Amino acid sequence: MRVLLTGAAGFIGIHVMDGLLSRGHDVRAMDSLRPDVHKGSLPWRVPRGVEPLIGDMRDPVAVEEAMAGIDAVIHLAAKVGLGVDVGDMPDYAASNDVGTAEVLVAMARAGVSRLTLASSMVVYGEGFGLCSDHGAVRPAPRFERALKSGDFEPPCPHCGQPLETQLVVEDTPFDPRNAYATSKAAQEFYAANWARATGGAVAMMRYHNVYGPGMPKDTPYAGVASIFTSALRRGEAPQVFEDGRQRRDFIHVRDVAAATVLACERHESGVRAFNVGSGIPRTVGEMAAALATTLAGPAPVVTQRYRLGDVRHITADSSRLRRELDWQPEIDFHDGMAELAHLDAASELSSPHRAMMPQE
């Protein structure tokens, strides 16, 4: 297939490009190279045979030109991060929602009927918890007064008791709790509208906590694994927020890329969401400890600090992806942590897909 890959210079994008090329697809690679997303990255190098385009997804002319002759779109381009401040809302709405709308309009005009969309587990908010008295419930919001006192667990909204964390499935109702999460939910709604109006197919890939080579470093967009690793390389202890018991599903970027390429190839009709995770929940404290052990660095420090917009626990059931697309994660958590820990700053960014212009 001839695939338009947006966000191609990003952390996940460079690995998806590898996956597409290894499976024989033709790739048109598009990225805005906006500085707030690519801060500290080396120049974008595009492999021979890949057509590079620099353009903003919000520019209808650029997007329409990029769509010519395309069979399928993998749309990764987005402003990422938390978006916990009210002032962040316009940029998330413009970058993610308007950008996606322009891509969908251009697809409709060009007759491109296959979309694979990068979404996120953040659309679920806190997901669901199990109360001993009230069963499965949506956790109540976490308030600053509770966080300040070290009470980090979201309570049952009915009785205030602690909840047992549950895996969320794809039909769990959305509960986005910050601007970034809201923008990802909106992207999904726009894509579903497009699919119904055009008869197109869309696979929503709800990525969990992605880590691995090429992660952004020490920016608002860096994953917690990258922040911990940078601290350890400086000889400093990783600073773990809250009590370190936040549950996440850490998934290696190459496994995420493989799932994304499979969805592009195999999802041919209708609207379908796929959780993309390893299937093994772990705590943030466990990740910090694994990295500290691998790098023989100081033990993590649990700070009790918090960010109001953070979700306490979010882990999802990814069995649909395994069942319907015949995908399995291949990279063990401890092997992935060891790989991440031993990448130095230069090699971590020196993918073969990092100076603008094709290689000679």
- Is the pLDDT at 105 greater than 90? The verdict is yes
Q: What pLDDT score does 39 carry? A: 64
Determine phi and psi for 109, rounding to 5 degrees: -65, -35
Tokens 């120049």 correspond to what residue? Answer: 43
- Is the pLDDT at 313 greater than 80? The verdict is yes
Q: What pLDDT score does 352 carry? A: 41
Nearest to 215 by CA among 29, 37, 6, 30: 37
Q: What pLDDT score does 285 carry? A: 95
Q: Residues 238, 244, 249, CA angle at the centre, nearest 5°?
A: 100
What's the mean per-residue pLDDT of the chain? 89
Buried b / exposed e over 292-330, threshold 16 CB at 10 Å, is: bebbebeebebeeebeebbbbbbbbbbebbeeebebebe
Check the CA dihedral 331-272-314-172 and report its sign: negative
Cα gap 82→178, rounded to integer Å: 7
Nearest to 95 by CA among 73, 74, 75: 75
The pLDDT tens digits of the residues spanning 250-291 come to 999 999 999 999 999 999 999 999 999 998 889 999 999 999
Running DSSP on this structure, what letter comes out for residue 254? H
pTM to 2 decimal places: 0.88
Q: What pLDDT score does 101 carry? A: 98
Determine phi and psi for 118, rounding to 5 degrees: -75, 110
Q: What pLDDT score does 314 carry? A: 85
Q: What pLDDT score does 42 carry? A: 61
Mean pLDDT within 112-119: 98
The pLDDT tens digits of the residues spanning 152-207 come to 999 999 999 989 988 889 999 998 988 999 999 999 999 999 999 999 999 999 99
Neighbours of 109 (CB within 10 A): 12
* Domains in the chain, CATH or no CATH each: 2-128+166-346 (3.40.50.720)
The pLDDT tens digits of the residues spanning 285-300 come to 999 999 999 999 999 9
Q: Which residue has the higher pLDDT, 342 or 175?
A: 175
Cα gap 180→146, rounded to integer Å: 24
Q: What pLDDT score does 126 carry? A: 84
The pLDDT tens digits of the residues spanning 19-77 come to 999 999 999 999 999 877 666 566 788 888 899 999 999 999 999 999 999 999 999 99
Nearest to 6 by CA among 67, 91, 60, 61: 67
Buried b / exposed e over 116-152, threshold 16 CB at 10 Å, is: bbbbbbbbbbbbbbebeeeeebbbbebeeebbeeeeb
